Amino acid sequence: MRRRDALLLAFLAVAGCGPDRAAQLEQEIAELQQERVERKAVEQARSEADAAEAAVRAAAAALPALREERAGVEREQAATRAALAAEQARAEQARREAADTRQRTQTVLAEAADLEKQVVEAKLRASTARDQAAAFARELRPGGEAWATERRLRSFSEFLARLAKEYPDDPVLAQLARRSAQSTDPQTASDLAARARDRIGAVYGLPAPAVATPGPAAATDGAPSP
């Protein structure tokens, strides 16, 4: 109760007011107090509204910075995603290159193995031909039976003709085959056989053949003895 209200009541009490007037005065005082409470509530609401507005203004002022920060975060995320995608692409490319390298390596190894096999087979054929030429060089000597010498010469000529066909890119063997077809001299044929032996050994890098004891000149089949 305010000081003025209290003084008023005291004055009325002293003046001897009746009960009805006192009740009316109390009602008026109660209404004044209610208005005071309501004014306080309004003032409180206004204060809260002012605080809320201030908070809104502060939030609005901070919004551009927040938006810029968010944009920066989004840019960083986009850059991270792009870097990750690039790294994944590089990894995929590396995997493809590794697979291609393995495939090429396997192909090269297979080709090398096949080539090595061909070389071994070619050397084996060349070694056999070299040994046959060496046998002709030993056994084509003058002084044997005429029929046996003739048969050996014919066999040797056929042998050189086969070599010339088997090695068509070798001009030396082709020349030896032509000379053998034109010669009937056993010594000349022996020299040609020795040249064929040396030529095959040199081309294919074959070791020198083992020295064998010449067989008898009177062979019956015309082929050189092994």
Instruction: Give the CA distances from residue 202 to residues 135, 191, 192, 194, 209, in Å, rounded to whole numbers and listed in that order.
Output: 17, 16, 15, 12, 12
pLDDT at 102 over 80: yes
**How many whole angstroms from its chain centre is CA 86?**
16
DSSP class of residue 143 equals T
d(CA 204, CA 128): 12
pLDDT score recorded for residue 28 = 81
pLDDT at 187 over 70: yes
pLDDT tier at 226, thresholds 50, 70, 90: very low
Averaged pLDDT score across all residues of the chain: 84
Q: What is the mean pLDDT of residues 119-147?
A: 89
Q: What is the mean pLDDT of residues 2-25?
A: 64
Q: What is the mean pLDDT of residues 159-184?
A: 94
Higher pLDDT, 36 or 111: 111
What's the full length of the chain, in residues? 226
